[in-house]
Amino acid sequence: MEKDPSLIWPRCEQIGDGYGLKCKKHRIIPKGILTACYNNLHLSICTDEAIKEVRQFRQILFCRKMPYTGTVFFEEYLKMRSEAEEKLFKQIEKIRGADADAMRDAAAYVQSLAAPPGSLGKLTDAAVQLAGITGRVKNTLDRRRIIVMCADNGVVAEGVSSTPPIVTLSQALNMTRHLTGMSSLARHFGCEVEVVDIGIATPYQGKDSGILQCRIRRGTGNIANEPAMSREEAVAAILVGIERARQASKDGVDVIGVGEMGIGNTTTSSAVLAALTDLSVENVTGRGGGLTDAAFAKKKKVIARALELHGLKSISAGEAGTVKGFGNPDPIDVIAKVGGLDIAAMCGVFLGAALYRLPVVIDGFISIVAALCAQRLCGIAREYMFPSHVSEEIGYMRAAEELCLDPWLHMNMRLGEGSGCPLAFQILEASCALMNEMATFEQAKIDDGYLAELRAMQS
């Protein structure tokens, strides 16, 4: 079977070319071997010529105390994937990076604007990134849409949230009436809001509710006792997110934001972030919508216990908040075991934005964890993402660092919902205004020769 191994498992991004090569964090890959994690089993997916090196590779895994199941060839690995998962990865394979030529042209145009080099900072950085996405130096963002994925989380049964689950439905309905924090800001700034039921648990009359009906199931399982969902359900939710991005593109939307509504989703987001990184539960878990000290301590213990239960991390002796990771887990597996339907669908929106070449804004903690999942499935999806605000949740900046993102706004916000998106849209519109309306040195009749030496120093 003719297949590029780097496309079979986009998470790993490349084939190793010898012992000692480090791919991302702490990963050493022998020649011709692609590492992956499938249903918590560490696999080595090999080209025929790599078979002689498998024994040595196995020893590397043993030294790292990673589970190992032997050699899996391309054909066998592909059979493991469901039809829906095959569809997902085929769509991921179609994602292409930003237009480098357009970015070069935009950067050159920025240099021609009548301002000291670099003086417009992140505004012109955003303009250059936008050019790479659209292929145009000058852009407008006339239609802006916030896609909100709504779902309940079974882990609330453990007392990890002070808010009752029915609030998920209540606020989803209120979003359609522009009564929540995010939706009131969206209406003020002329942004569209699309509210999607991907897993609301409370029964309601869906027809004429204003909520888009895409429910995979009524809430997730309690991750403290069982997987959040099946792998198939996680894939289905991701595909829903990709479809919502496709529809936004078809509708002529110029930029999308990704929000959520789901009681208990800071717990699932912390669990996913801990599983995807080397970070401890203590370093990624905050108080969400507000918790007493006792409830906060319980929340961290529940997350640590769930990670161990599902084989994602082990708890160090005597330290409930400290965990040790098992290699580089598959994001879909992580979402299925300890994530949420909202996280899965939001991950899909980020992937869809990259697939359909739409700029996409990250909101707060849950949103950025979903963005990280998307990036781990397809590295170049990161090129389509823009930050908004720094969430007060402790794990937010950890995820931002993983994505190499520097958030624009520092406003002590922690609402979620997508509330940072309408604010970030305004910043993106400002970056467009500079490119569209600001004079160049030539138009302003200013000789910029005095900047030649400074530009040479900065190049």
Give the separation between CA 27 and CA 37, rounded to whole angstroms: 13
**pLDDT of the residue at 61:** 41
Q: How far out from the chain centre does Cα 217 lie?
A: 22
**pLDDT of the residue at 50:** 45
Q: Which residues are catalytic?
A: 417
CATH number of 144-428: 3.40.50.10210
Give the separation between CA 385 and CA 358, rounded to whole angstroms: 9
pLDDT tens figures, 260-310: 999 999 999 999 999 999 899 999 999 998 899 999 999 999 999 999 999
**pLDDT of the residue at 452:** 81
Q: What is the DSSP letter of 283?
A: G
pLDDT tens figures, 188-227: 999 999 999 999 999 999 889 999 999 999 999 999 999 9
What is the torsional sign of CA 333, 3, 357, 97? positive
Helix (H, G, I), strand (E, B) or coil at 314: strand
* Global confidence as pTM: 0.83
Q: Which helix (H) or strand (E) holds 61?
A: helix 54-63
Chain region(s) in the chain for CATH 1.10.1610.10: 100-137+434-458
Ranges under pLDDT 70 in the chain? 1-80, 314-328, 459
- CB atoms inside a 10 Å sphere around CB 121: 8
Give the separation between CA 458 and CA 152, rounded to whole angstroms: 50
**pLDDT of the residue at 313:** 78
Q: How far out from the chain centre does Cα 30 lie?
A: 29
Show the tokens assigned to 182.
């995010």
**pLDDT of the residue at 456:** 79
Please determine, looking at this structure, whether the domain spanning 100-137+434-458 carries the CATH number 1.10.1610.10.
yes
The C-alpha angle with vertex 87 and arms to 83 and 88, in degrees rounded to 5, equals 120
Nearest to 151 by CA among 87, 88, 234: 234
